[in-house]
Amino acid sequence: MVISIPSTGAKITRLNTISGVEWEHAVLTLYDFFDNKQYEIEYCNHPNILHSLIIRPIRPYDCGKFEQVFGFGQHCEDFTKDKFVVIGKDLMY
């Protein structure tokens, strides 16, 4: 699955914890001016969060856009796989 987040206008919500879900592999596409950047991530659906997907990082990427989505510091400072982000399902295809 490919999940795209536009450079502007996307609503992103971060979660502190999540449990009881099965994660699947996906590719996250972020748009940075005229460049499309892709990152390996995992995603899941949660029965209590309608019309959205939850994504989490698999590994760090030294990229400002990636760090911005997941709330990491520069150079993925404080990287953890336990960063969860909710995005609208209309951003996936």
State the chain's mean pLDDT as an integer: 82
Residue closest to 33 by CA, chosen among 65, 67, 62 = 65
- For the question of whether the overall pTM of this predicted structure is more than 0.85, the answer is no
Burial environment of residue 28 by CB neighbours within 10 A (0 to 12, 13 to 18, 19 or more):
buried
> Does residue 7 surpass a pLDDT of 60?
no
pLDDT one-digit tens code per residue, 13-53 = 777 778 788 999 999 998 877 788 999 999 998 777 766 78
Q: DSSP of 30-60, one letter per residue?
A: EEETTEEEEEEEEEEEETTEEEEEEEEESS-
Cβ-proximal residues to 22 (8 Å cutoff; 6+ apart), any chain? 44
How close are the terminal C-alpha atoms of the chain, in Å? 7
Domain ranges in the chain?
2-91
